[in-house]
Amino acid sequence: MSHSDSTPSTDWPEGFADPAGFDAPFTIAQAVAWGEMDSLGHVNNTVYLRWFENVRFAYFERIGLNALHRQAGQGPILARTTCDFRAPVTFPDEVLISTECTRLGTKSFTLYNRVWSTTQKALVAEGEAIIVLMQYGADAEPRSIAIPQLIRTAIESLDAKVLGLAG
């Protein structure tokens, strides 16, 4: 598969893209761990939030936010999260986890997350995360800041389509 190919692959379910590619929605793949199941024999609800976090920080790597955090102390804080559980997940399985920016505000943005079971071939969960940008520092309380233009441009470029921008 060519990354420069402008036609999205049809091999991936709606709301997901090739984890090894550059198409949106930004997607990662991850094996389900046996120990993530609770005594009902299903993956525990807190693990879905960890999956959302995993794709979120991979997305942050991609848009340069983790680098900005390390270099300038400007980083994310989670303000709100929701999760709708569509179907139980069990070991062994591999899940696709995708995220896309559906709202890009001045000081905060919203990521929409989806989880796909490759065993069930079904959407098993979805939900949103609201992220606020913060200036962290050793000498002062963290305070919210405007999203830096660098980050804004990276998000707009990656998720142009869902944000309604000219892609």
The contact set with a second copy (CB under 8 A) reads 28, 30-31, 33-35, 37-41, 44-47, 49-50, 53-54, 57, 61, 75, 77-85, 88, 91-92, 136
Taking the least distance from each CB to a second copy, the nearer of 31 and 165 is 31
The tokens for 138 are 């050793």
Question: What's the closest the beta carbon of residue 160 comes to a second copy, in angstroms?
Answer: 25
How does strand 108-117 pair with strand 94-104?
A: antiparallel
Nearer to a second copy, 46 or 157 (CB): 46
Instruction: Give which of 82, 79, 81, 83 is closest to 133, Cα–Cα.
Output: 79
Least Å distance, CB 50 to a second copy, is: 5
Which residue number, 44 or 118, has a Cβ lying nearer to a second copy?
Answer: 44
C-alpha dihedral sign at 76, 62, 54, 27: positive
In whole angstroms, give the CA distance from residue 1 to residue 18: 10
Evaluate whether 165 touches 143 at the Cβ level (below 8 Å): no
Contact in structure between 116 and 95 (CB atoms under 8 Å) = yes
Q: Which two tokens stand for residue 111?
A: 């990521």
How far apart are CB 100 and a second copy at their closest, in Å? 19
Nearer to a second copy, 79 or 146 (CB): 79
Distance in Å, CB of 40 to a second copy, minimum: 7
Shortest Cβ distance from residue 5 to a second copy (Å)? 26
Q: Phi/psi zone of residue 57: left (φ > 0), alpha (ψ -120 to 50 degrees), beta?
A: alpha
Closest to a second copy by CB, 76 or 163: 76
